[in-house]
Amino acid sequence: MSLEPTVTARDLGRSFGAFKAVDHVSFSVAPGEIFGFLGSNGAGKTTTIRMLCGLLTPSSGAASVLGYDVATQAREIKRRIGYMSQRFSLYGDLTVEENLRFWGGAYRLFGRALAERVEWAIGAAGLAERRTALARDLPGGFRQRLALVSALLHEPPVIFLDEPTAGVDPEARRMFWDLIDTLVERGGTVFVTTHYMDEAERCHRVALMHAGRVLALETVPNLKRVFPEGSVVEIHCPRPAEAVTVLKGTSGVRDVALFGDVLHAVLSDPSRRGGLEADLAKGGFAPARIDPIPPTLEDVFIHVIGRAEDGGPA
Amino acid sequence: MIRRTLAVAIKEFLHLRRDPRTALTLLAMPILLIFIFGFALSFDVKHIRLVLVDEDGTRAGREVAEAFLRSGYFDLVSHERDGRKLNALFDRGRAQAALVVPNGYGAALADGRPTTLQFVLDGSDAQMATTILAYARQIVASISPVVRGREGAVLGLPVVWYNPELSSARFLVPGLVAFILAITTVIATALSVVREKERGTMESLRATPLFAPELLVGKTLPYLLVASGSAAGSLFLAWALFGVPLRGSLFWLGVVTVLFLAGGLGQGLFISTLADSQQVAFQLGLLTTMLPTLLLSGFIFPISSMPTALEWITHLIPARYFLVALRGIVLKGAGIEVWWPQAGALAIYAVVALAAGTLRLVRSL
């Protein structure tokens, strides 16, 4: 495997008028890596991916994919990458097979090579019994997988996925990711944007993006090490929504957020746990149970964004 | 290159097949229009209510009146000795035309002196009046030789070429072909591009290594085929139903048609860059093709009778040029030496529209 990175970005930026959608972003993606861009809507993930795919010219900085410059060699890049856009990229009024044949043709596959790849795609997406179904009649999960294999027909060494499983149920999402894992086992590189934490957990490295900037870029375990052992706790107590406001004003609590009907809190000192229980009881939130938990990526995300907005170092 | 274009064309053709309403509209609309324009909107005027005012009362006067009635266009509603009631008959709409045979007409003819007939028309419907006048001229001309045989008296002798029956169908069908082609190419092209934008598939298309020309030609090819089929069908129907001949060369007909279609294609692409929804694209397409082609191309209303300012605007309507060439080829069998200025104008339209449409689209992509 070559040491040359598959994707590199240096001070990559893109403005729309005065608005900086992507603000001096730098990273590199190694071959065989699943690289995730995690961020909320409007963080600049899609703008970044569109620049990398040669669909949008950068306003500043530079980026290359497979050694080709995104600003000047877009066509070379387009021939060699797969891209699955955020929006539904299939023709609903065409059948599974017709969709695949069209996208294959657009990626310069013809004749026997095309037929072979279409068969591969139908098998890989588990669509053998639905090959003559119209794409719009497919259940969401199948559609997503069809869109993915459509982008893989020309066997690209790197694939860009922009929020590939938005609006798909968790089971279908898991099947989708199993497909991606087999791809990476064969040496493929995956660049994916998402706002699902479970999806980000499956990436080798994750860049946390917020307001156009990359706030952190690490492996998932390393990202979670921003918190000292035992400082992330789960709190079960009555009226959790009210408890959030109370805890926000309590000393020693850095972050608190509601997850369903439980609270996640980040403590500045893990030994503050006993005192916190007393504080909650005083506020009328007894009985409260406080357990240390391993931090989730979402805890990290909220924490990092909070620090960035307070003006601290990201 | 050709295979990738074909891949796009096949896809677009499949869309058309899955959406039979659009395909049917593209094919059925021309047939419907041919019927409407050919039969219902006919400018042929029949059963014209004619009043005969025979002040003369001689045989010569009666001969003229008989010629009018024999023509089949006129119905005699009243026979008067003088013109006193004429105003009232016109006012009440009982009469559309009156033939006045003046006192002394027969005598003048017998003496070989020049004389005149008077023809009175209700001009409130100018179009109809023009048509009726044309009939009257022809009838008078047809009896002129007989009249002339009686020495000397010369009456006007109009001769109508190419369309001796002055049939509306012959006049309208070439315009109809232009009309159909303008609408279908512009709207179908604009819609097919905007649809991709609306669906979100445009983004995926852009990420493929397809070249813009492969995409655009591939996308519009099926619509061009359908539009050409419509045009051929319209010409065939016009021949079968109304006896409109195709006198000129099919080759040159093809050449000017392709120029016109290419321009429409460019115009459609341009519209697709302005519109974000199919609805807007449809309205823009309709607005820029249907109204100008209907009103300002000479399809129905003669350009020569328009006010100067309006006449100037007609120079910007591509259908105007196409129509002249088309009528020339279809009705007169005229060669390129006759309509080359129009072909040149169409070529300019094609190049400008295609360049503007493609450039804007590629830039907006």
Say whether A91 and B15 touch across the interface (CB within 8 A).
yes
Chain A residues with CB-CB distance to B under 8 A?
Answer: 53-55, 75, 78-79, 81, 83-85, 87-94, 98, 101-108, 110, 134
Q: Are A89 and B203 a contacting pair at CB < 8 A?
A: yes
Q: Picking from A121-125, B144-148, B222-226, B328-332, which range would have the lowest pLDDT averaged per residue?
A: B144-148
CB A110 within 8 A of CB A74: no
Q: How far is B358 from chain A (nearest CA, A)?
A: 17
For residue B7, the chain A residues in CB contact (below 8 A) are 101-102, 104-106
pLDDT digit string, tens, across residues B51-91: 998 888 888 888 888 888 888 888 888 888 888 888 888 88
How far apart CA B191 and CA B198 sit, in angstroms, is 10
Report how far residue B215's alpha carbon sits from residue A85's, in angstroms, rounded to the nearest whole number: 19
- Assign B151 a pLDDT band (cuts: 50, 70, 90): very low
Q: What percent of chain B has pLDDT over 90?
A: 12
Q: Work out the average pLDDT over B112-127.
A: 77
Comparing CB atoms, the residue among A81, A85, A101 nearest residue B203 is A85
Q: State yes or no: pLDDT of B183 exceeds 90.
A: no
Rounded distance, CA B299 to CA B113, Å? 44
What stretch of H or E contains A27?
strand A19-29
Residue B152's pLDDT band (cuts 50, 70, 90): very low
Q: Which of B11, B18, B206 sits opposite A102 (nearest CB)?
A: B11
For residue B225, the model assigns a pLDDT of 84
Domain-by-domain residue ranges, chain B? 2-41+167-364, 48-143
The answer to whether the beta carbons of residues A14 and A58 sit under 8 Å apart is yes
Neighbouring-strand partners of residue A265: A233, A256
- Is B14 within 8 Å of A93 when comparing Cβ atoms? yes
Question: Domain spanning B48-143 has what CATH number?
Answer: 3.40.1710.10
Q: Are A89 and B200 in contact (CB under 8 A)?
A: yes
Cβ pairs A/B, distance under 8 A: 73
Task: Report the half-sphere exposure of B217 (CA within 13 A, side-chain side).
Answer: 12
The answer for B 172-211 residues in CB contact with A (under 8 A) is: 199-201, 203-210
Residue of B nearest to A99 (CA): B11
Which residues in A lie closer than 8 A to residue B6 (C-beta atoms)?
A: 105
Report pTM. Answer: 0.75
Q: What is the pLDDT of residue A64?
A: 95
Handedness of CA B22, B168, B95, B66 (dihedral sign): negative
Query: Do residues A83 and A160 touch, judged by C-beta distance below 8 A?
Result: yes
For residue B160, pLDDT over 50 is answered with no
Spatial contact of A297 and A200, defined as CB atoms under 8 Å apart: yes
Distance from CA of A300 to the nearest CA of B (A): 33
Whose CA is closest to B142, among B156, B129, B152? Answer: B156
Whole-number pLDDT of residue A133: 95
Six token digits for residue A59: 């306003």
Average pLDDT over residues B118-130: 77
Task: Categorize the per-residue pLDDT at B346 as very low, low, confident or very high, splitting at 50, 70 and 90.
Answer: very high
* E strands, chain B, in order: 48-54, 74-80, 97-101, 118-121
| Of residues B11, B19, B203, nearest to A87 (C-beta) | B203
Q: Is the ipTM of this complex over 0.85?
A: no
**pLDDT averaged over chain B?**
82
CB-CB: which of A84, A88, A106 is closest to B210? A106
pLDDT, residue B365, reads 61
Distances (CA, A) of B207 to A17, A89, B3, B159, B277: 24, 11, 18, 64, 21
**Sign of the CA dihedral running B192, B195, B201, B206:** positive
Of the partner residues A79, A87, A98, the one whose CB lies closest to the CB of residue B200: A87
Give per-residue pLDDT as tens, B286-301. 899 988 888 888 887 7
**Over its length of 314 residues, how does chain A's per-residue pLDDT go in tens digits?**
456 899 999 999 999 989 999 999 999 999 999 999 998 888 899 999 999 999 999 999 999 999 999 999 999 999 999 999 887 789 999 999 999 999 999 999 999 999 999 999 999 999 999 999 999 999 888 999 999 999 999 999 999 999 988 878 888 888 889 989 988 998 899 999 998 888 898 999 999 999 999 999 999 889 888 888 788 888 988 888 888 888 887 878 888 888 888 888 888 888 878 788 888 888 888 788 888 888 888 888 888 888 887 764 44
Burial label, A3 (beta-carbon count in 10 A; 0-12, 13-18, 19+): exposed
What integer pLDDT is reported at residue B165 of this predicted model?
54
pLDDT of amino acid B40: 63
